[in-house]
Amino acid sequence: MDVDSIEMERYIEAHIDPEWQVLHNIYRRSHLELIGGRMASGHLQGTILKMFTRMINPQNVLEIGTFTGYSAISIASGFLREGAMLHTIEIDDELETFIRRSIADAHFEDRITLHIGDATNVIPTLDCMFDMAFIDGNKRNYISDYELVMQRLNVGGYIIADNVLWDGHVLTTPAPNDKQTQGVIAFNDYVRNDNRVERVIIPVRDGLTIIRKI
C-alpha cells in the first residue's frame, strides 16, 4: 500500500502526547530565525526522546549537537531522578543566545548544562559517566564522537544516533566531496561491526540507531 509519509507523520502526531507549547515555540523560532530550521527534532522525535529517557531513567545524559535546544529540552523533560542532568555540547557559538533562551523558557536551568565548543575538547573535562547519550553533531565526526561517548558510557548505557538514514542517501554511492554522506555510511558500518554493543535502527524521521553498551 502506498502511503504518503507526510500524512502518516501527521496521523502519528495526532495520536501521541501533544507537543509542549515551549517546544512548539522553539520549533517555530528555529524555522523563522535560522537557516536549516528543519534540523530541530520536532514533535514526533522529541516525544520519542522523552519516552526513551523515561524508560532508561538516566542520572546523567550527554548530547552532541544542541542546535536550538529542542532535543535537549525533550530529553530533560523525561527526567525522573532527582538531580538528573543533561550536558549538551554545541560547537556553533552563534547559537548560544538562542539555546539559552530555549532553556530559560522551559525553566530547565537546573536540568541542562550547555557547553559551547568542540565535543573533542569538552567531553574530557566532564567529571561524570553517562547512562544515555544523543549524537546529532557533524556527520563527518560520527565515528570519533561515538568513540568519545563510549569511553564515558556506563555498561548497560544507551547511545541514540540521529540521521543514520540521511534522507535515503545511505543507499547511494556518495560523491567524493560528499563527506557528510560518507560519514553516515561509515558510522553505520562501524556500529554494525562493533562487538561491544547491541543495536537497532528505527526508521523514524531521518533514522535513529539505538545502541546499548554490553
In this structure, the strands spanning 130-135 and 208-213 are: unpaired
CA distance 41 to 60: 21
Domain boundaries defined on the chain: 5-213
Closest CA to 64 of 154, 156, 126: 126
pLDDT tens-place values along the chain, 214 residues long? 567 888 998 999 999 999 999 999 999 999 999 988 888 999 999 999 999 999 999 999 999 999 999 999 999 999 999 999 999 999 999 999 999 999 999 999 999 999 999 999 999 999 999 999 999 999 999 999 999 999 999 999 999 999 999 999 999 999 999 999 999 999 999 999 999 999 999 999 899 999 999 9
Q: How far is CA 17 from CA 6, 12, 14, 21, 211, in A?
A: 18, 10, 8, 12, 25
Task: Transcribe 80-145 into DSSP letters.
Answer: -STT-EEEEEES-GGGHHHHHHHHHHHT-TTTEEEEES-HHHHGGG--S-EEEEEE-S-GGGHHHH
CATH value of 5-213 in 3.40.50.1370, 3.40.50.150, 3.40.50.300, 1.10.3720.10: 3.40.50.150
Secondary element (H or E) of residue 64 = strand 60-64
Helix (H, G, I), strand (E, B) or coil at 75: helix
Sequence-distant (≥ 6) Cβ neighbours of residue 99 within 8 angstroms = 66, 67, 68, 69, 72, 88, 90, 114
